[in-house]
Amino acid sequence: MTDRAVLIGLDGATFATLDPLMGEGVMPFLKEFLASGVRSELLSVIPPLTPPGWASLVTGRTPGNHGVMDFFRFESPDSRYIRLVDSRDVKCETIWSIISRQGLKATVLNFPLMTPPRPMSGNAVPGWAPWKHLPRLCSPQELYDKIKAVPGFNVQELAMDLQLEGKAIEGSSKEEYEDWIHLHIRREKQWFEILRYLMQEDPCDLTAILFDGIDKLQHLLWRFIDPDCVPTHPSGWERRIRDLCLDYFRQLDGLIAETVAMAGPEASVFLASDHGFGPSTEIFYINAWLHRQGYLEWAAGAIEDTSDAGRLGLGMISRSPSMVDWSRTTAYGLTPSSNGVHIAVAGRRGQHGIDLKEYERVRSVLMDQLYQLTDPATGGRLVTQIRTREEAFLGTRMDMAPDLTLSIRDGGFVSILKSDVVLKPRPEVVGTHRPEGVFMARGPGIRQGRSLPALSIIDVAPTLVHSLGLPVPSDLEGRVAAQIFEPASFQARPIRVGEPTQVPEPFPQRRDRKEDKEGEAQVLERLKQLGYVE
Amino acid sequence: MVGVTREQIVADLGKIFNDTMGDWEYSGEITPETRLFADLGLESIDIVALGGAIEEHYRRNFPFAQWLAKMREQQVDDIRVKDVIQFLQDNLKSSLVRESQ
């Protein structure tokens, strides 16, 4: 085994699409990688979603403990208002911090929940950062000036642009598909060029990069990627979109190959996704159903679904509390991404809601009603599994979780919009998340050509820490995936259990700020502009 | 948080704007009347990030989501710099009250 590791994140990757792509020769490097490494499904958390998925992967802890359960969270324990999650919501220590405390360095590129920057040793360019704010959100802050000089740098395409991100969630016109795919090819190349620069200029013990175009393309273009959905007799345009999607994966394969080559044969290389993917064919309007059952009353400002997509963009979801008349609502779906139902308990988030003494009974009745909900056309059940918060989010942060989390029959996400119908077929198949992600590994001491039983996403952090030659913190919930290693190699370097992780400070002092180094001149100038300083 | 005056908030906000506006194309004068959306060209996600920067500076959380929701309910179509200053002043004042209790 070695003491250097590379983690390549593939957001939303699933063997359901990667296997056919490898079979067709679109991803030859990945095929070769697996022939000399191991593979397994990587089971995500509940819900199988980008923020809780990556937070679990990099902490080795479950959402009930690290606290990231959705794209959003309640603003405070007694508030109904919601805000986007960020690094401060990750209440458990990340591998970047764990290894930094033990004297190692990491380069971390494009991972979510990295803003505001947290203390770590090495380099971090965060994902999910608005482009206008990226300069101050890199760590160390002067890193931004260095990556600006990397060939092809275009911050608007590299970082988050809400209008562009919205296309994956809200849909886009078919005329935009080609540009959308080209954009993601360019974007992955940009992130790779930054990786190349940092691997050459400042090699670190752990190098991690997240390629997130797979998720974006699969959401919008699943029907062109999944061989089961591709039209038997495609039109010229459909063939062109399919070819472009394949080109994305072909080029991604090349970037992975170059990354692995740069890491060298002595490095352990891990590829992992935060969740899998699959098709969604219908829309279940959870709040429309709750309204019909008498649990929810719409407010005057409720947003009605007037589109075929049944989706609500990130910018609009934060407005969802305004859609509900709280004085007459006892249960509601807050966000589409969580598939969660919250029960309004009087005194918990405002004065309205059921009496706390009624909670267990109301929740039990609601679960029964949801399980009895059927498709009027077929009689089939719509809700296949319901987990209480104790089942899905047991841990120190459980109080922020939905009371019920639903799995629906097509594996997709609910819509929280107002609608005249409870269930509607989608006009076209779209991609949606599944729990079964991917795990692949290759390197010294790692078995070759083996397909292994599924791992849990919380096993990745302890496995990485062990691969770096460090003791594994005693309080991680995941375990080292011993089965990926050759027995002799594993016996030669058994797992060492170390001290527990450290709870992150909510507001650590940042010591890498450019502003502090540049003095007060610019600050004074800005104050003058504000009109407060003569 | 004792002793945070309006002048200090203005100075802090100036510092935060200075820190966040490095690469923007906006080069006009920023005054208390400057609108974050219409004048500075910010999007809602930028406001979220700006809120994060303010919270990092003061090392405490502010009820930004509630504030923005109430502004929407009042059909306020843009946020001015002076609105942010007032919001911070109100909340830092209320935290002073809580801290003294």
Q: What is the pLDDT along chain A (534 residues), one digit of tens a residue?
A: 458 999 999 999 999 999 999 999 999 999 999 999 999 999 999 999 999 999 999 999 999 999 999 999 999 989 999 999 999 999 999 999 999 999 999 999 999 999 999 999 999 999 999 888 899 899 998 999 999 999 999 998 999 776 666 665 556 678 889 999 999 999 999 999 999 999 999 999 999 999 999 999 999 999 999 999 988 899 999 999 999 999 999 999 999 999 999 999 999 999 999 999 999 999 999 999 999 999 999 998 777 776 655 555 555 666 777 889 999 999 999 999 999 999 999 999 988 999 999 999 999 999 999 999 999 889 999 999 999 999 999 999 999 999 999 999 999 999 999 999 999 999 889 999 999 999 999 999 999 999 999 999 999 999 999 999 999 999 999 999 999 999 999 999 999 999 999 999 988 776 655 544 444 444 445 444 443 333
Q: Which CATH number fits domain B6-21+30-100: 3.90.950.20, 1.10.1200.10, 1.10.10.60, 2.60.120.620?
A: 1.10.1200.10
Hey, is the C-beta of A526 within 8 angstroms of any chain B C-beta? yes
Hey, what are A501's tokens? Answer: 């992780």
**8 Å CB contact between A131 and A158:** yes
Using CB atoms, pick whichever of B14, B50, B56 lies closest to residue A527.
B14
- Chain B residue with minimal CA distance to A118? B56
Which residues on chain A are in Cβ contact (under 8 Å) with B8? none
Hey, is the C-beta of A454 within 8 angstroms of any chain B C-beta? no
A484-500: per-residue pLDDT in tens?
A: 999 999 999 999 999 99
Subunit contact B69:A81, Cβ cutoff 8 A:
yes
Domains along chain A?
A: 5-69+84-275+435-498 (3.40.720.10), 280-427 (3.30.1360)
- Chain B residue with minimal CA distance to A506? B59
**8 Å CB contact between A55 and A66:** yes
Q: What is the DSSP string of A209-227?
A: EEE-HHHHHHHHHHHHHST
Residues A140, A146, A150, CA angle at the centre, nearest 5°?
Answer: 135
ipTM: 0.85
DSSP β-ladder status, A122-125 and A106-109: parallel
Distance from CA of A527 to the nearest CA of B (A): 5
Task: Please state, in angstroms and rounded to a whole number, the distance separating the CA atoms of residues A91 and A68.
Answer: 8
- For chain B, domain boundaries: 6-21+30-100
Which residues on chain B are in Cβ contact (under 8 Å) with A314? 45
How many contacts, defined by CB atoms under 8 Å, are there between A and B? Answer: 119
Q: Using H for helix, E for strand and C for coil, what is the string for B31-94?
A: CCCCECCCCCCCCHHHHHHHHHHHHHHHCCCCCHHHHHHHHHHCCCCCCEHHHHHHHHHHHHHH
Q: What is the largest CA-CA distance in chain A?
A: 74
Hey, is the C-beta of B5 within 8 angstroms of any chain A C-beta? no
DSSP β-ladder status, A268-272 and A340-343: unpaired
pTM above 0.80, yes or no: yes
CB atoms within 10 A of CB A228: 11
Using CB atoms, pick whichever of B13, B20, B73 lies closest to residue A322.
B73
Which residues on chain A are in Cβ contact (under 8 Å) with B83? none
CA atoms within 13 A on the CB side of A206: 32
Subunit contact A81:B52, Cβ cutoff 8 A:
no
A385-405: per-residue pLDDT in tens?
A: 999 999 999 999 999 999 999
Hey, is the C-beta of B11 within 8 angstroms of any chain A C-beta? yes
Cross-strand partners of A108: A124, A208
